[in-house]
Amino acid sequence: MITMHNLFIIAGLIGGLGTPEILLIAFVVLLLFGGSKIPELMKGIGKGVRGFKEGLKGIEDEFNSPDKKEAEKTDQKPNDPGKDKTPAG
């Protein structure tokens, strides 16, 4: 069975994709999906890429930001021993 991965390997061995190959692929996509479906397809791909980039940015921010638990610990004030909430006994 030929998969897309195998097709890309074969195309790489032959010499890569040139302009005629790309035009042929675009023509086949046009025939398969029709002219009206291509904008919807591109919109979906754009949303997917945008979501992927936002996810990567979120992971990057998580690694670059200081740990929230450490920040909360430094912001907390120590308990005042005069205001002990445990009942005297």
Per-residue pLDDT of 20-63, as tens digits, reads 887 888 888 888 878 888 888 889 989 999 999 999 898 888 88
Residue written as token pair 């692929």: 25
Per-residue pLDDT of 55-73, as tens digits, reads 989 888 888 877 655 555 5
CA pair distance 73, 34, nearest whole angstrom = 59
| Residue 48: predicted pLDDT | 92
Mean pLDDT value across residues 73-86: 57
Q: Between 22 and 77, whose confidence is greater?
A: 22
pLDDT class of 85 with cuts at 50, 70, 90? low
